[in-house]
């Protein structure tokens, strides 16, 4: 097996970013799309995953995770490097919302910050690893609504005012 180094991992987190993320993680932590980085280890080690699953069909019950780290592949070009690309973003975010507890923390790294009514944005950091890489936003967002609230909103259900 070829040993991976930081130079091989596009968009790999620096030790400072990993420490920042680790400091915010509590309870049951799911690291989705973790690639070769496993929560709590250095980026140049290749470790087997505890659970391997399709990010759009997670094998977990509803509202079980306290923290979700989500650093997905950014575009189709990353499929060449990582072997995966999440094309159906809505389906993936529905899974993230389904699995994360109300009050749970989503740590999301991408070129954009999700704008959904169920999240409260707590912090945002801009990440620049190398001059030739895109700047990414690392956002810390708290889930505010339950699954029942989300589904009720989608179906035009009761707004809680009793009317």
pLDDT, tens digit (0-9, with 9 covering 90-100), for 92-129 = 888 989 999 999 999 988 777 776 677 888 988 887 76
What whole-number distance in Å separates Cα of residue 135 and Cα of residue 65?
28
Question: Does residue 144 fall inside a structural domain?
Answer: yes
Which residues span the domain enclosing 93?
Answer: 6-154
What is the rounded CA–CA span in Å between residue 50 and residue 131?
Answer: 34
In a domain, 159, yes or no: no
Domain count, the chain: 1
Q: How far is CA 19 from the centre of its chain?
A: 16
Is 23 inside a domain boundary? yes
Domain assignment present for residue 1? The answer is no
Q: Is 118 a domain residue?
A: yes
Q: Is residue 161 included in any domain, yes or no?
A: no
Task: Classify residue 160: in a domain, yes or no.
Answer: no
Q: What is the per-residue pLDDT across 28-75, written as a single tens digit (0 to 9) for each?
A: 988 887 654 444 333 334 445 577 777 888 899 999 999 998 887 766
pLDDT at residue number 159: 45
**Residue tagged 């309870």 (tokens):** 27
DSSP 8-state secondary structure symbol assigned to residue 28: S
90: domain CATH number is: 3.40.50.150
Residue 79 included in any domain: yes
């Amino acid at each position: 097996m070829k040993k991976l180094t930081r130079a091989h991992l596009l968009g790999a987190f620096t030790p400072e970013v990993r420490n920042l993320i680790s400091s915010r993680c509590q309870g049951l932590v799911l690291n989705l799309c973790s690639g070769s980085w496993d929560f709590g280890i250095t980026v140049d080690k290749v470790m087997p995953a505890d659970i391997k699953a399709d990010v759009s069909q997670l094998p977990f019950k509803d509202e079980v995770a306290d923290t979700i780290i989500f650093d997905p592949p950014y575009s189709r070009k990353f499929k060449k490097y990582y072997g995966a690309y999440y094309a159906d973003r809505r389906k993936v975010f529905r899974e993230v919302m389904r699995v994360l507890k109300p009050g749970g923390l989503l740590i999301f790294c991408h070129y954009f910050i999700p704008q959904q009514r169920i999240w409260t944005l707590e912090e945002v950091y801009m990440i620049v690893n190398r001059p030739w890489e895109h700047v990414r936003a690392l956002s810390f967002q708290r889930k505010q609504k339950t699954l029942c609230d989300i589904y009720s909103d989608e179906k035009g259900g009761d707004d809680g005012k009793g009317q």
